[in-house]
């Protein structure tokens, strides 16, 4: 189906339902969505972005009710959100939230998401922050509560009754004592603006009165998906659209020296070869013509940059000069505590580069004109991308419209932003809309990988085996930034086109403590309660700790990959906690509880262990066979980011000690994310995170040789696929209706690797400290055990 670049059908239908023209919408909301600068109003409402230029994770939003909601003459509700559906069920949960707060049936709510010409600037959809942001803060939920109270006031005037005698039910305001005295929302305000600010005093619907929230509403997008009617970004078609392919360098660090455009002049359909510094693309009338031209184009490149040997890569990290050091916690007494400890235990853990490896490659459609551009993109960050796209195209940000369309999944910086730049550069060059879909190799060899880590851990124990101090030093490699980023050069297409990546600035190797307890990356272990400069935090009982995080320049682009840094740090912490428990000859669950003070974290640990029928004893299992198949169980837990979701996971595995193959047989997870908006949706997130975590724990690793990446297809990079064996997964949902909502999408994946590794140790007595747990590494660990 052909789509106009001026207004999508869904968006136009939403405006029609709201009784608004697009000009009405822009006039009513443009001040706050396009150029909002009322910092005081935003601050008064608790809207505190990193900046007002939409580069923070949550953006400034809007304090104006009309930026979030509109009600049509027929009483139907149109809601606007800057948080995008990425395949997690967020669209359904946000629709439930609006329906609940406005007291309307869910089928009378239409949600418009992530369009810079229409929706509030909520920054980036990431970090398991999106549902909490709209549930807890002065955003979508507060808009619903504000509108409901405003409608009650309007109803009181219309009906001539005290507002206290009225109730909002099913899109009407009616008398509590006489249902015949009622008036519909459409009759009260249909097609008009509220002209109100969000009211922080507006009362939210109590959980006891929920009718839509708290229920397992089926995914609203599934009917269209399963019947082939859903419009992914790959399905967008625009009148006059051409097709493009990129030509990436053959090796990292290679620069363009020449392009022979005559090499493709005779090919059918070729429109233009586009070159911008080291960025090269080919535009043709049809996709296959563009692909053929990209393959045949003769481009000459300089030699690439030699990459470090992968076999010694992690060891080499320790000798690199850090571009940034962060001493986030330092009690000041760690060395003294270690010196006086009855026993000191230390270990080093290694995590590889891993990729997003989306099941389909990235795609975007761009229509760039002289002074304006419309981009259909699967980006997680429409407003940040608008700003950086304007830089790439030499346009003003207000002249760039980014329209989100769902892609093949992401969980961080895959190819969505890079391909958006690719399509825009080609469209600008040929003066017509261009669709670009990356080839598999072009995405996998050049995406922003989840960074590699080396983590050194040390603890001191007293005579009773209790932890008295914990010392952490982590090394990671970074290049690039979050989705949209603060510079186009943070993804490959922007860098090749001449934009510089934003690298961390050098700092002293041992900076003074910052005076603030920080556990956003889960650098602080669960067992620690850290204090620094009078600021304290943490979930445990250990008061002496030092956390030093060291960042080294990466040869590859890096960026957020589901549970960025949190997964790597938790793998180290929870594996090490198991090693400490084994050294103390203590049961892993009991030993954790001995060092945990946070009651909610303790509760998920005991809930998971109870549901799993935990066999309380020290690890490893005594009397295990040293050949054939051995079985074991392991546990790991986390308070994600220190405040964003509690999870504990018990894993049961079978280890074939002859082949090194590990099979995960059963997973039991307990999760606490505060009030549960959609129980089945939460289970889906928990289960999907577990399978993704299992894939990363057992299989996934970026490989390279010489000057190029060698994991470039499904043969050389093999995640867990549909049809591969999956374990039995059981879940325990700890519902806390009176607590703030927290994230769910990155909790279970964070603990999966450690839980599997601990189960392997329990089964075999072999400790694996490097991911992934391939059969070769398992066999090496088995050979090295005592």
104 with 212, same domain? yes
83 with 216, same domain? yes
What's the mean pLDDT in 475-503? 77
What is the C-alpha separation between 501 and 388, in angstroms, rounded?
A: 12
Sign of CA dihedral 623, 629, 633, 638: positive
252-256, 288-292, 326-330, 506-510: segment of lowest average pLDDT: 506-510
To the nearest whole percent, how much of the chain has pLDDT over 70?
A: 88
Nearest to 737 by CA among 688, 784, 679, 673: 673
367 with 331, same domain? no
User: With 80 as the cut, is the pLDDT of residue 50 above it?
Assistant: no
Residues written for the chain: 786
What's the mean pLDDT in 149-166? 97
Nearest to 124 by CA among 411, 360, 523: 411
Distance of CA 416 to the CA centre of its chain: 13
135 with 214, same domain? yes
Two structure tokens written together for 633: 């169980």
Query: Quick one: pLDDT at residue 294?
Result: 98
Q: Could you tell me which residues come within 8 angstroms of residue 726 by beta carbon, excluding any fewer than 6 positions away?
A: 664, 691, 694, 720
Burial annotation 335-360 (CB, 10 A radius, 16+ → b, else e): eebbeebeeebebbbbbbbbbbbbeb
455 with 440, same domain? no
Last residue of a domain, one of 226, 246, 262: 226
- The answer to whether position 562 is within a domain reads yes
Who wins on pLDDT, 106 or 513? 106
User: With 60 as the cut, is the pLDDT of residue 671 above it?
Assistant: yes
627 with 512, same domain? yes
Omega within 30 of 0 (cis) for the link into 772: yes
275 bridge partner residues: 280
Residue tagged 């949209």 (tokens): 484
Two structure tokens written together for 376: 């259909």
Query: Quick one: pLDDT at residue 469?
Result: 96
Domain of 420 in residue numbering reads as: 233-303+358-446
Rg (alpha carbons) of the chain, rounded to whole number: 27
Last residue of a domain, one of 399, 416, 446: 446
- The answer to whether position 45 is within a domain reads no
| 3-state SS class at 192 | coil
Burial annotation 683-693 (CB, 10 A radius, 16+ → b, else e): bbbbbbbbbbb
Who wins on pLDDT, 488 or 157? 157
Last residue of a domain, one of 446, 463, 489: 446
677 with 779, same domain? yes
Q: Counting beta carbons within 10 angstroms of the beta carbon of residue 506, is it exposed (0 to 12), middle (13 to 18) or buried (19 or more)? A: exposed
Q: Could you tell me which residues come within 8 angstroms of residue 326 by beta carbon, excluding any fewer than 6 positions away?
A: 511, 514, 548, 549, 551
478 bridge partner residues: 553
Number of domains in the chain: 3
> Are 702 and 760 within 8 A, CB to CB?
no
Query: Quick one: pLDDT at residue 503?
Result: 53
Query: Quick one: pLDDT at residue 512?
Result: 30
How does residue 35 score in pLDDT terms, banded at 50, 70 and 90?
very low
- The answer to whether position 153 is within a domain reads yes
Sign of CA dihedral 642, 645, 646, 649: negative
C-alpha atoms less than 13 angstroms from C-alpha of 533 in its C-beta half-sphere: 10
Query: Quick one: pLDDT at residue 541?
Result: 87
Burial annotation 292-301 (CB, 10 A radius, 16+ → b, else e): bbbeebebeb
Query: Quick one: pLDDT at residue 488?
Result: 86
How does residue 695 score in pLDDT terms, banded at 50, 70 and 90?
very high
- The answer to whether position 50 is within a domain reads no
415-419, 525-529, 693-697: segment of lowest average pLDDT: 525-529
454 bridge partner residues: 350, 475
Query: Quick one: pLDDT at residue 487?
Result: 74
| DSSP type of residue 44 | H
| 3-state SS class at 81 | strand
The mean of the pLDDT values for the chain is 89
Nearest to 683 by CA among 647, 634, 651: 647
pLDDT digits (tens, 9 = 90+) for 258-315: 999 999 999 999 999 999 999 999 999 999 999 999 999 999 999 999 999 999 999 9
- The answer to whether position 4 is within a domain reads no
144 with 196, same domain? yes
What is the C-alpha separation between 414 and 410, in angstroms, rounded?
A: 6
What is the C-alpha separation between 281 and 261, in angstroms, rounded?
A: 11
- The answer to whether position 530 is within a domain reads yes
User: With 60 as the cut, is the pLDDT of residue 166 above it?
Assistant: yes
End-to-end C-alpha distance for the chain, whole angstroms? 65
- The answer to whether position 629 is within a domain reads yes
110 bridge partner residues: 78
How does residue 138 score in pLDDT terms, banded at 50, 70 and 90?
confident
Two structure tokens written together for 280: 């090269």
- The answer to whether position 42 is within a domain reads no
Query: Quick one: pLDDT at residue 513?
Result: 30
What is the C-alpha separation between 404 and 115, in angstroms, rounded?
A: 6
To the nearest whole percent, how much of the chain has pLDDT over 90?
A: 80
Omega within 30 of 0 (cis) for the link into 620: yes
| DSSP type of residue 724 | S
345 with 369, same domain? no
- Strand 279-284 relative to strand 270-276, pairing: antiparallel
What is the C-alpha separation between 692 and 410, in angstroms, rounded?
A: 12
581 with 695, same domain? yes
H-run or E-run covering 133: helix 130-136
User: With 60 as the cut, is the pLDDT of residue 687 above it?
Assistant: yes
How does residue 530 score in pLDDT terms, banded at 50, 70 and 90?
low
What is the C-alpha separation between 518 and 525, in angstroms, rounded?
A: 12
83 with 189, same domain? yes
What's the mean pLDDT in 430-455? 97
- Strand 109-113 relative to strand 646-656, pairing: unpaired
Strand segments (E) across 640-734: 646-656, 662-672, 704-705, 708-709, 728-733
Q: Counting beta carbons within 10 angstroms of the beta carbon of residue 717, is it exposed (0 to 12), middle (13 to 18) or buried (19 or more)? A: buried
What is the C-alpha separation between 294 and 361, in angstroms, rounded?
A: 17
CATH number at residue 645: 3.30.365.10
| DSSP type of residue 633 | E
pLDDT digits (tens, 9 = 90+) for 62-85: 999 999 999 999 999 999 999 999
> Are 570 and 771 within 8 A, CB to CB?
no
243 with 130, same domain? no
pLDDT digits (tens, 9 = 90+) for 707-729: 999 999 999 999 998 789 999 99
């Amino acid at each position: 189906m052909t789509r106009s670049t001026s207004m999508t059908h869904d968006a136009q239908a939403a405006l029609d339902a709201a009784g608004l023209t697009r000009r009405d919408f822009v006039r009513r909301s443009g001040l706050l969505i396009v150029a909002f600068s009322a910092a005081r109003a935003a601050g008064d409402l608790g809207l505190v972005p990193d900046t007002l230029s939409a580069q923070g994770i949550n953006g400034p939003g809007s304090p104006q009710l009309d930026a979030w909601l509109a009600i049509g003459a027929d009483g139907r509700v149109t809601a606007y959100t800057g948080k995008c559906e990425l395949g997690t069920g967020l669209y359904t949960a946000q629709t439930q939230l609006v329906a609940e707060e406005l007291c309307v049936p869910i089928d009378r709510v239409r949600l418009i998401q992530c369009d810079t010409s229409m929706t509030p600037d909520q920054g980036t959809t990431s970090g398991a922050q999106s549902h909490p942001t709209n549930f807890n803060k002065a955003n979508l939920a507060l808009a619903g509560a504000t509108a409901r109270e405003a409608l009650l006031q309007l109803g009181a005037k219309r009906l001539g009754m005290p507002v206290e005698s009225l109730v909002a039910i099913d899109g009407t305001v009616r008398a509590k004592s006489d249902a015949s005295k009622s008036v519909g929302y459409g009759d009260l305000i249909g097609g008009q603006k509220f002209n109100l600010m969000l009211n922080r005093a507006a009362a939210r619907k109590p959980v006891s009165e929920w009718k839509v929230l708290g229920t397992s509403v089926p995914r609203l997008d599934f009917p269209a998906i399963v019947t082939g009617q859903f419009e992914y970004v790959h399905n967008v078609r625009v009148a006059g659209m051409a097709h493009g392919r990129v030509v990436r360098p053959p090796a990292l660090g290679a620069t363009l020296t020449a392009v022979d455009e005559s090499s493709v002049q005779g090919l059918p359909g070729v429109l233009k070869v586009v070159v911008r510094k080291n960025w090269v693309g080919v535009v043709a009338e049809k996709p296959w013509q563009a692909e053929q031209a990209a393959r045949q184009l003769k481009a000459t490149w300089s030699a690439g940059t030699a990459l470090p040997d992968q076999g010694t890569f992690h060891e080499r990290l320790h000798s690199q000069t850090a571009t940034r050091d962060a001493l986030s916690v330092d009690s000041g007494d760690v060395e003294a505590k270690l010196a006086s400890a009855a026993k000191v235990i230390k270990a080093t853990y290694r995590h590889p580069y891993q990729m997003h490896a989306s099941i389909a490659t990235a795609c975007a459609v761009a229509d760039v004109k002289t002074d304006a551009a419309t981009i259909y993109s699967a980006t997680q960050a429409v407003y940040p991308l608008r700003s950086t796209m304007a830089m790439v195209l030499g346009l003003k940000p207000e002249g760039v419209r980014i329209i989100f369309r769902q892609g093949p999944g992401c969980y961080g910086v895959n190819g969505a932003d890079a391909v958006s730049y690719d399509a825009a550069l080609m469209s600008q060059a040929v003066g017509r809309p261009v669709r670009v879909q990356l080839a598999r190799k072009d995405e996998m060899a050049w995406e922003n990988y989840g960074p590699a880590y080396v983590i050194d851990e040390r603890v001191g124990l007293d005579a009773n085996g209790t932890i008295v101090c914990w010392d952490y030093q982590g090394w990671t490699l970074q290049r690039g930034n979050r989705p949209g980023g603060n510079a186009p050069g943070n993804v490959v297409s922007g860098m090749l086109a001449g934009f510089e990546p934003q690298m961390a600035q050098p700092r002293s190797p041992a900076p003074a403590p910052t005076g603030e307890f920080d556990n956003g990356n889960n650098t602080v272990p669960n067992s620690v309660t850290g204090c620094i400069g009078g600021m304290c935090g943490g979930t445990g009982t250990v008061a002496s700790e030092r956390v030093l995080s060291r960042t080294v320049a990466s040869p590859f682009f890096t960026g957020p990959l589901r549970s960025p840094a949190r997964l790597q740090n938790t793998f180290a912490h929870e594996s090490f906690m198991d090693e400490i428990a084994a050294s103390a000859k203590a049961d892993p669950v009991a030993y954790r509880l001995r060092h945990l003070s946070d009651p909610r974290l303790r509760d998920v640990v005991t809930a998971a262990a109870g549901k799993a029928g935990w066999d309380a004893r020290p690890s490893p299992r005594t009397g295990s066979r040293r050949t054939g198949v051995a079985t074991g169980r392991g546990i790991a837990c986390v308070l994600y980011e220190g405040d964003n979701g509690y999870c504990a996971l018990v894993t049961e595995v079978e280890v074939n000690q002859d082949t090194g193959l590990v099979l995960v047989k059963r997973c039991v997870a307990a999760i606490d994310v505060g009030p549960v908006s959609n129980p089945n949706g939460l289970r889906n997130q928990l289960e999907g995170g577990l399978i993704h975590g299992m894939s990363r724990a057992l299989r996934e690793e970026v490989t390279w040789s010489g000057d190029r990446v060698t994991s470039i297809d499904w043969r050389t990079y093999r995640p867990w696929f549909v049809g591969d064996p999956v374990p039995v997964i059981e879940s325990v949902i700890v519902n806390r209706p009176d607590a703030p909502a927290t994230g769910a999408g990155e909790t279970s994946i964070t603990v999966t690797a450690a839980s599997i590794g601990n189960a392997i140790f329990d089964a075999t007595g072999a400790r694996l400290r490097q991911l992934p747990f391939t059969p070769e590494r398992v066999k090496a660990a088995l050979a090295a055990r005592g």
